[in-house]
Amino acid sequence: MYCPEHFTEADANEIDRIMAAFPLATVVVATDQGLLANHIPLLRQGDDQLIGHIAKANDLHHLVEDNTEVLAIFQAEDAYISPNYYPTKPETHRHVPTWNYQVVHCHGRINFDHSTKGKTAIVGRLTSHFERQAFGDQAWRMADAPKDYMAGMLDNIVGFTIDIARVVAKSKLSQNREPVDYDNVAEVMMAEGKQGLGQRMKSLKDSD
Amino acid sequence: MYCPEHFTEADANEIDRIMAAFPLATVVVATDQGLLANHIPLLRQGDDQLIGHIAKANDLHHLVEDNTEVLAIFQAEDAYISPNYYPTKPETHRHVPTWNYQVVHCHGRINFDHSTKGKTAIVGRLTSHFERQAFGDQAWRMADAPKDYMAGMLDNIVGFTIDIARVVAKSKLSQNREPVDYDNVAEVMMAEGKQGLGQRMKSLKDSD
């Protein structure tokens, strides 16, 4: 990804936040039949691994071999940025429109897991994480479903891990604008309900 | 993309809506140095072409030649779907968590445009489209900026077109659930502010 220094997101906590808040990753591979992307919720396991699963009917596990290079993209909020958002516009008119956004790219290698034990562990971690996040104590548990049903569901999926080799993260947030313009873009983001972008702009300013 | 029949989005108007409402596309290429993705606002030009531009400092136009295969991904809203959202859960318990989302994948070939005329036309169309959408009559115009400034800005970008060869679109919206569960998921989506997902679920039901 093209990522100039001033847009590089180097804060590990912010990278974690983006991956956790926008877990539906775009998982890209290059196959003999061309580029292929699937949209899969992923969970970080330790610092260097992502876990997820796909339907057994998804050709991905036939099209690519274990240890194939993949790119997993986590995309946070984005917003069109108009020259009208810059208070200095009437003075200089030296502005053009742009787009702000935050993304995390995890480059790594995928390995599939067809074992019942491995799949149960992956599904268990994902379920427990997302259900607890959504419902706390009222979380649905895998044990709530009949055993024959869960066995059938597990039989219809393939688990996988992605070993992360390299992370590139970008927070494109008007860091290259005048302070007065930067501040107003942050206000516009908050007013538009893009809290993630607005809050990150404010925290970047506070940490200056 | 893995896309079973019941999740395939075949409605051209809905595909247009997604691309227009979520224009910041993920543009993926396979290079000698591995998979590479950039996040670029794209605009449809006719049925078969996308237009956009990148910074001249972005290596993309050096790393890939004209006519290289690219995948442009437009990602709409997404939502975690808990078994707790299904009214039939207490009766059958035959549910597991999933994720709903809408995406459009445009497979095609990229060609770069280094000409001032071509770049002016591309930037002009993008600016006019997004500014009019945001500000109507109050839209900022390229002519508002000083000529030397605009010439410098144009000099620092590279325009491109993507000729679309194939579109694959997916609306994964609980179409495989019982009607009573489907209806409640649609209500939850609306209540969670995921209007795009909720509205599409309702319109799909009405068109049944």
Can you give the residue ranges of every domain in chain A? 5-115+160-198
List the single residue in A with minimal CA-CA distance to B29.
A35
| Helix ranges, B72-191 (H) | 89-92, 116-135, 147-155, 179-191
pLDDT at B140: 87
pLDDT tens profile A49-62: 999 999 999 999 99
pLDDT tens profile A99-109: 999 999 999 99
Chain B positions in Cβ-Cβ contact with residue A83 (cut-off 8 Å): 140, 144-145
Distance from CA of A55 to the nearest CA of B (A): 9
List the single residue in A with minimal CA-CA distance to B107.
A35
Q: Residue A105: what residue type?
A: H
pLDDT tier, A145 (very low <50, low <70, confident <90, very high otherwise): confident
Distance from CA of B27 to the nearest CA of A (A): 10
Rounded CA gap, B22 and B164, in Å? 18
Q: Which residues contact B119 (CB under 8 A, 6 or more apart)?
A: B53, B113, B154, B157, B158, B159
pLDDT tens profile B112-153: 999 999 999 999 999 999 999 999 988 988 888 889 999 999
pLDDT tens profile B185-195: 999 999 999 99
Asked if the model's pLDDT at residue A208 lies above 80, the reply is no
* Residue in B3, B35, B88 to test binding to A, most A beta-carbons within 10 Å: B35
Overall residue count recorded for chain A in this entry = 208
Question: With respect to CATH, is domain B5-122+158-206 assigned 2.30.110.10?
Answer: yes
Percentage of chain B exceeding pLDDT 70: 100
pLDDT at A91: 84
pLDDT at B108: 98
Rounded CA gap, B70 and A66, in Å? 24
Rounded CA gap, A198 and A203, in Å? 9
pLDDT tier, A89 (very low <50, low <70, confident <90, very high otherwise): confident
pLDDT at A104: 98
Asked if the model's pLDDT at residue B208 lies above 80, the reply is no
Quote the Cα angle for A187-B123-B17, to 5°.
Answer: 70
Assembly ipTM:
0.96
Chain B positions in Cβ-Cβ contact with residue A96 (cut-off 8 Å): 123, 127, 142, 145, 150, 153
Which has the minimum average pLDDT: A32-41, A140-149, B62-71?
A: A140-149
Identify the CATH number of the domain defined by range A5-115+160-198.
2.30.110.10
pLDDT tens profile A130-142: 999 999 988 988 8
pLDDT tens profile A4-25: 999 999 999 999 999 999 999 9
Q: Residue A171: what residue type?
A: S
Q: How crowded is the C-beta side of A66, counted as CA atoms within 13 Å?
A: 8
pLDDT tier, A93 (very low <50, low <70, confident <90, very high otherwise): confident
Asked if the model's pLDDT at residue B65 lies above 90, the reply is yes
pLDDT tens profile A166-188: 999 999 999 999 999 999 999 99
CB atoms B103 and A39 under 8 Å: yes
Q: Which of A1, A95, A123 sits opposite B37 (nearest CB)?
A: A1
pLDDT at A144: 85
pLDDT at B5: 94
pLDDT at A67: 98
- The helix/strand/coil state of B6 is helix
